[in-house]
């Protein structure tokens, strides 16, 4: 628990130390950034709704693919592919829990074409002196929840998101530096993970 607290403290200290020379970014600039972010890897710190903290590595390949590889002692693996989100429990084994991707706020940033200026998608757009925040939801299905994205400027970089689910629970993900790189197809192979988890 102490290590988790120190990891969170280090992540938050890094966030507070960001340069103050940034300015609010337009929705078009943020849409362009996300559309150009096709394949990337980053470490992450996750603050769960119950206050517990998890760490790991995130792999993302747009459109539609994401993988959260959690560090021990966590034994979970979360993958998005083929229009669904799969939650594997490597401790218990068996089939993953499965949810439609389009019923989660992650679908908004994994879409083939992100357009934050779309009517009723962005419900809040602000600037706190160091970062631009955008809160977005599915305009046709706001009951699915929302995602608040935090970006820094110079260069534009996605630093954090907070997902509010359909029950009001929140999960915060703080990202390390996103490294743009080509990622292997095997990272997003759900069937391979399903076989390994049996």
Collapse the DSSP code of 2 into the 3-class scheme (helix H, G, I; strand E, B; otherwise coil) and give the result.
Answer: helix
Collapse the DSSP code of 141 into the 3-class scheme (helix H, G, I; strand E, B; otherwise coil) and give the result.
Answer: coil
User: How do residues 13-54 score in pLDDT, each as one tens digit?
Assistant: 333 344 444 589 999 999 999 999 999 999 999 999 899 999
For the chain, domain boundaries: 2-11+22-196
User: How do residues 157-174 score in pLDDT, each as one tens digit?
Assistant: 999 999 998 888 899 999
Q: Which pLDDT band holds residue 176 (cuts at 50, 70, 90)?
A: very high
Q: Name which of 81, 78, 43, 58 is nearest 188 in CA terms.
A: 81
What residues contact 32, with CB distance under 8 A and at least 6 apart?
none
Q: Which CATH number fits domain 2-11+22-196: 3.40.50.720, 2.60.120.260, 3.30.505.10, 2.50.20.10?
A: 2.50.20.10
Buried-state track 22-60, b at ≥16 Cβ within 10 A, e below 16: beebebeebbebbeebeebbbbbbbbeeeeebbbbebbb
Residues facing 69 on adjacent strands: 57, 77
């Amino acid at each position: 628990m102490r290590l988790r607290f120190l990891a969170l403290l280090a992540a938050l200290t890094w966030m507070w130390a960001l340069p103050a020379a940034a300015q609010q970014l337009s929705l078009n600039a943020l849409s362009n950034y996300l559309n150009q972010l096709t394949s990337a890897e980053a470490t992450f710190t996750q603050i769960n709704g119950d206050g517990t903290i998890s760490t790991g590595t995130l792999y993302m390949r747009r459109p539609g693919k994401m993988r959260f590889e959690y560090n021990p002692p966590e034994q979970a693996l979360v993958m998005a592919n083929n229009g669904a989100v799969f939650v594997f429990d490597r401790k218990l084994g068996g089939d993953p829990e499965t949810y439609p991707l389009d019923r989660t706020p992650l679908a908004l940033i994994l879409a083939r074409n992100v357009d934050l200026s779309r009517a009723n998608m962005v419900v809040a757009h602000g600037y706190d002196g160091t970062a631009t925040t955008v809160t977005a939801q599915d305009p046709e299905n706001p009951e699915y929840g929302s995602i608040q994205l935090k970006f820094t400027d110079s260069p534009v970089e996605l630093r954090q998101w907070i997902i509010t689910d359909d029950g009001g629970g929140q999960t915060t993900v703080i990202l390390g530096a996103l490294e743009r790189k080509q990622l292997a197809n095997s990272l997003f192979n759900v069937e391979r993970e399903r076989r390994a988890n049996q």
